[in-house]
Structure 1
């Protein structure tokens, strides 16, 4: 375990402070936006189908452009990518807010703006994740990732609460305006991230398809990378559909909607506690510990099947939330320490693509399956898939043996006292035991 001074050491680095503020601001807005947008569409047409079209379009463009987002983040300064993305995101969300507030919104207009917002998110996500190693020394990566997770989880809780107050009190348009403001604030914060540019490899050409191939080569070069991503493809397919689709249906028949809201709130609280635990946890096989923690998600799904009571589900959800954060921090730290810095964003984009694709597939498939075989059987099968996914990840020697010992070339070399000076970053060593799904919030790596 580490002292408080060591735990908070990343905050002594000015670039990291600005990065953490920017990421927390975007997550605050991202927590407000879905709630405000949902009620804005329902107020406009009352159609769940229209709501699905607006939300689904954003998800589709996000997935389609993720890989190119990784290319951009490895080609250009990542903080600049974040500033540009946040600036345009503030503009698109501001336009949505203006349409809603003036009563001129139409479904085609909302679909078009949502599609553009999805593209911007695809460009921003790999850049934000890959920027962390450029802001702190290698030995502080675990603490930095945990502090980032703590800030974003707290922002999600605050954002969801704020959204409820805004939508109920002054209307969804104002919630969307707040979302636009958080992107503007995040853009200002990212503009304060001053880091040295990454060293580029000699002879590289600006060919996006070649760069995608290079990212794929890095992705498959370490068994622990693609094994974990494949494992979370299965994990997310089962878990997201079981909890997000069948969970509310089971709750409607048993504990009730308010109690289900409590369960989800407790799970988010567990994630906050988990980030605090990850701040102080110090083990050599961090990825192994993170993957082992994912067994803790099985009881929540089994509880929905066999014992859907408030007491059981609240405890299971809290434990699952704590466990998710151990994996998320372990995963990001492992990626940042072992993937070459100039290719890290592209590997993150392949990771996110594998994670995000599985979620809608599972959510679409589980409804018909549950209608055919029943909730209990379907949930138990989902729990079995989760169990198999975790066991499959543990079967890889790279996952079991990967050490989190930092490499001195993986991160900035500036001392903490250089509060405003740019940090330098080289490429992390890739000569660690072979072994990679990015922490795509929810339950994905």
Structure 2
């Protein structure tokens, strides 16, 4: 492999000598044999915590400056637009630039944005456009972060540890990012101010950046074309070549997706699933709790906590087990069947029933995500992994705003029960179509990913 920006380093590295011995680590902990991943995992914990604090602190900063629901919507929309616009470009960059550099830049950008807002808040100079601009830039950083992170992992750990890595990360995001971070933010805002909470988020990102800098720089796992025109060019000619190269890279990623039945079928199924479930989950559940079950914000928090805890449990269990032999079938079936508890939510008579259903949905939504991340990292060619990860990211986020926008009107037209029934039943049918239509059972047997035991 050639890399004009950094020399390759010998990764995945050998396990640390102090960790060798007759005792085997539990499967979920095997990636931590490698010091590179211990550092990257620590950075992930810190930035996930900071992100969770930032999300809640940002809400209360909007409120502190006198903003209402419309102002908060404007800020969150700016962040969503920032994520969507460069989502596909992020994959192109991840396949051309050493991924560590991308993560360092994106983490630094988010750190600078949080630090700026903290300074403005402490001096009482914050304006709504400041928050919207920072949210937009942070969203753009996320669009570059995700494909680079996904493409970097196989260069840091051996492929037999990837399932455990994805299981650990699937546990960190709901527990640290969606539970601990927001809880700490709420406590800091209550005890002090939104300014202090934003400063806590910035401090966590600073810690994550410092740890990330300790991870070794690895080479791009791709043969990059060498310029033959005597230089990179300048002016409009250089810009035109850059645009053509970017479009060619995007076409190559799209072409691989279209030519790969398991990838295309799963992404199409995932887009349908996201469209029918995210609106009911994010928009309708709070109103169901308030209007139908007589609950309040605390009950909603309990329900969402159960969703996050379920996701953490599902991720940790999946990461602790071997890759299923029928990994494509199990993955899609878990997603499809995992939406069935929406029926319980639609016909619930008590908040605890909604909480129990949310736990099951979280577990059965996150468990196949562990398989999916590992599948991409093991079956997608290294030189295409960033672009395929960005396609996956784009599919995951592009229909969320549409789903949230139509959930309310649809529920008003056909009722909450019918809307939740659609969310429960459509993904299962779509999963069956994907499995049978793309012949996934035959594909997974022809391309086994399960590690077979090695005879001594």
Q: Shorter-chain TM-score: what band?
A: 0.7 to 0.9
**Compared CA separation, residues 241 and 135, structure 1 to 2 (3 A):** same
SS where residue 76 of structure 1 aligns?
Answer: coil
1:402 aligns with 2:451: no
Cα distance between partner residues in 2 of 1:109 and 1:315: 40
Q: How does 1:43-62 map to 2 (within 5 A)?
A: 43-62=64-83
1:201 aligns with 2:223: yes
Which residue matches 1:11? Answer: 32
Which residue matches 2:239? Answer: none
Unpaired segments ≥5 residues, structure 1:
409-445
Deviations 1:128-170 (A, max 9, x none): 1221111111111111211222233321221121111112111
- State which drifts further: 321-330 or 253-262: 253-262
Which residue matches 1:355? Answer: 396
Cα distance between partner residues in 2 of 1:407 and 1:196: 27
Alignment length (residue pairs): 407
1:310 aligns with 2:351: yes
Which residue matches 2:233? Answer: none
Alpha-carbon shift at residue 395 of structure 1 (Å) = 2.4
1:161 aligns with 2:161: no
1:181 aligns with 2:223: no
SS where residue 85 of structure 2 aligns?
Answer: helix
- State which drifts further: 159-168 or 273-282: 273-282
Which residue matches 2:156? Answer: 135
Which residue matches 1:275? Answer: 315
Alpha-carbon shift at residue 407 of structure 1 (Å) = 10
Cα distance between partner residues in 1 of 2:449 and 2:226: 27
1:261 aligns with 2:282: no
Alpha-carbon shift at residue 324 of structure 1 (Å) = 1.7
**Compared CA separation, residues 294 and 104, structure 1 to 2 (3 A):** same
Alpha-carbon shift at residue 196 of structure 1 (Å) = 3.2
- Structure number with larger C-alpha Rg: 2
Cα distance between partner residues in 1 of 2:28 and 2:135: 38
Cα distance between partner residues in 2 of 1:86 and 1:3: 34
Instruction: Find 1:23's aligned residue among 29, 35, 44.
Output: 44
Cα distance between partner residues in 2 of 1:398 and 1:23: 36
Instruction: Find 2:267's aligned residue among 220, 229, 239.
Output: 229
SS where residue 198 of structure 2 aligns?
Answer: helix
Using the size of structure 1 for normalisation, the TM-score is 0.86
Cα distance between partner residues in 2 of 1:3 and 1:386: 39
Which residue matches 1:390? Answer: 431
- State which drifts further: 389-398 or 130-139: 389-398
Which residue matches 1:370? Answer: 411
Cα distance between partner residues in 2 of 1:204 and 1:405: 36
Question: Does structure 1 retain, via aligned residues, the 8 Å contact 2:325–2:450?
Answer: no
Which residue matches 2:363? Answer: 322
**Compared CA separation, residues 98 and 6, structure 1 to 2 (3 A):** same
Which residue matches 1:379? Answer: 420
Cα distance between partner residues in 1 of 2:259 and 2:282: 34
Alpha-carbon shift at residue 296 of structure 1 (Å) = 4.0
- State which drifts further: 298-307 or 357-366: 298-307
Question: Does structure 1 retain, via aligned residues, the 8 Å contact 2:345–2:357?
Answer: no
- State which drifts further: 368-377 or 164-173: 368-377
**Compared CA separation, residues 177 and 310, structure 1 to 2 (3 A):** same
Alpha-carbon shift at residue 397 of structure 1 (Å) = 3.9
Cα distance between partner residues in 1 of 2:294 and 2:426: 25
Cα distance between partner residues in 2 of 1:108 and 1:249: 30
Cα distance between partner residues in 2 of 1:66 and 1:317: 29
Cα distance between partner residues in 1 of 2:24 and 2:334: 24
Cα distance between partner residues in 1 of 2:95 and 2:224: 15
Which residue matches 2:15? Answer: none
